[in-house]
Amino acid sequence: MIIKLKNSATAEQKQQLISLGEQLGVSVCTVVGAIDTLLGFIGDTTHIDIEQLEALDIVDSVKRIQAPYKKANRIIHPENTTIKVGDAVIGGSSPVLIAGPCSVESEEQICSIALDVKNSGAQLLRGGAFKPRTSPYAFQGLRKDGIKLLLEAKQVSGLPIVTEIMDISQLPLFDDVDVIQVGARNMQNFELLKELGKTKKPILLKRGLSSTLEELLMSAEYIMSGGNEQVILCERGIRTFETATRNTLDLSAIPVLKNLSHLPIIIDPSHATGKANLVPSMARAAIAAGADGLIIEVHNNPPCALCDGQQSLTPEAFDTLAKSLNRIAAAL
Ligand code: PEP
Ligand code: MN
């Protein structure tokens, strides 16, 4: 529920209304804009009588938010959310590049890729330590040792790191991780989302394989309602009848989510297409469509990668792509 206050409202009156909201059992957030001040009543507002609120002296108007996501809703927070990680500002004026291998494999591998992608302009390093694989016989990631190697690569390169969590029990290992990734397969692991809502770290939330954008926003809402408002949305391709690509990249997710929500949105063209030769064109299209960044798989020896080699760019191909992206971003 959004309550627009009259310009004449005093700080004391505003505080009284906030207390009233709390007595009515909702959490209250305040948005002070250039012209208007809004109060958001968040939670179950079905029992609150709109007309009674409208009758208050300081209230200009009251509107129910129809969408089930409140904190992620742009109505509550008209400005874009920006998330600062190291030197990067995700959701800021220029797109952010996150790059690195699907999986951390060795110290040499992750450190050399980190330096290469940094030289090409990546601002964050990705690398999976806990890998959600379709087959239990496939490489499952170096797990705890993978996180240690990522931290070494962070030291060597100075790049902040992004890595995936698969279970709440792994959280203590993520103390020094800069951005925690929730993978597509865990987008609706609600207990995990609630726990991440209690952390203070940015969360990169990937869209589930067959999830709607509203479901993605509801998963963001789980994290935000727990107190952590630093959520980065990620479109990584969805399941369709098409088999020419690993998934179908839903680029319309960018303008749709931008309209509905203030959260930054990035695109993963690697998992979306599954093919290295398709990554550059979809990466460029994503930036042209207004994405706040990209997460791209890069490997120093794709044919020998332990996971997702077929969709990984070489450091050289990533460098060429990064240069063309700069030109697109500048043109915008
Ligand atoms: C990944 O980023 O390595 C990954 C497993 O992605 P997704 O969850 O999108 O499949
Ligand atoms: Mn991968």
- CA nearest to 262, candidates 38, 91, 63: 91
202 Cβ closer than 6 Å to some ligand 1 atom: no
236 Cβ closer than 6 Å to some ligand 1 atom: yes
287 pLDDT above the threshold of 90: yes
332 pLDDT above the threshold of 90: no
Average pLDDT over residues 135-143: 97
Helix, strand, or coil (residue 19): helix
98 Cβ closer than 6 Å to some ligand 1 atom: no
Average pLDDT over residues 15-27: 94
Tell me how far the alpha carbon of residue 332 lies from the centroid of ligand 2, in angstroms. Answer: 29
Sorting pLDDT into bands at 50, 70 and 90, what band is 44?
confident
- CA nearest to 299, candidates 74, 104, 50: 104
The minimum-distance atom of ligand 1 relative to the CA of 186 is 8
What percent of the chain has a predicted confidence (pLDDT) above 70? 100
Which of 98, 104, 249, 268, when mutated, tests ligand 1's pocket best, judged by the most ligand atoms within 8 Å of its CB?
A: 268
Tell me how far the alpha carbon of residue 310 lies from the centroid of ligand 2, in angstroms. Answer: 10
Helix, strand, or coil (residue 101): coil
Under 8 Å between Cβ of 286 and 269? yes
Task: Classify residue 93 as left (phi > 0), alpha (psi -120 to 50) or beta.
Answer: alpha
206 Cβ closer than 6 Å to some ligand 1 atom: yes
Under 8 Å between Cβ of 324 and 284? yes
**pLDDT in the model for residue 327:** 92
The minimum-distance atom of ligand 1 relative to the CA of 102 is 3
**pLDDT in the model for residue 228:** 98
Q: Which residues pair with 5 in a beta bridge?
A: 59
Tell me how far the alpha carbon of residue 309 lies from the centroid of ligand 2, in angstroms. Answer: 8
Name the residue at shortest CA distance from atom 4 of ligand 1: 183
What's the mean per-residue pLDDT of the chain?
Answer: 96
Cα angle value 112/146/126 (rounded, 5°): 55
314 pLDDT above the threshold of 90: yes
Name the residue at shortest CA distance from atom 9 of ligand 1: 184
Sorting pLDDT into bands at 50, 70 and 90, what band is 302?
very high
Under 8 Å between Cβ of 206 and 234? yes
Sorting pLDDT into bands at 50, 70 and 90, what band is 31?
confident
Tell me how far the alpha carbon of residue 208 lies from the centroid of ligand 1, in angstroms. Answer: 10
Long-range pairs of 131-140 with CB within 8 A, sequence gap ≥ 24: 131/102, 131/103, 131/164, 131/307, 132/164, 132/166, 132/183, 132/185, 132/186, 133/307, 138/307, 139/103, 139/306, 139/307
pTM: 0.94
What pLDDT, in 10s, does the model give residues 51-100?
A: 999 999 999 999 998 899 999 999 989 999 999 999 999 999 999 999 99
Q: Which residues contact 46 (CB under 8 A, 6 or more apart)?
A: none
20 pLDDT above the threshold of 90: yes
For residues 220 and 203, what is the distance between their CA atoms, to the nearest angstrom?
9
For residues 282 and 236, what is the distance between their CA atoms, to the nearest angstrom?
11
Which of 102, 181, 266, 271, when mutated, tests ligand 1's pocket best, judged by the most ligand atoms within 8 Å of its CB?
A: 271
Average pLDDT over residues 299-313: 98
Average pLDDT over residues 198-208: 98
Sorting pLDDT into bands at 50, 70 and 90, what band is 148?
very high
Tell me how far the alpha carbon of residue 274 lies from the centroid of ligand 2, in angstroms. Answer: 9
Cα angle value 21/193/125 (rounded, 5°): 125
- 33-42, 192-201, 243-252 — which is least confidently predicted? 33-42
Under 8 Å between Cβ of 47 and 26? no
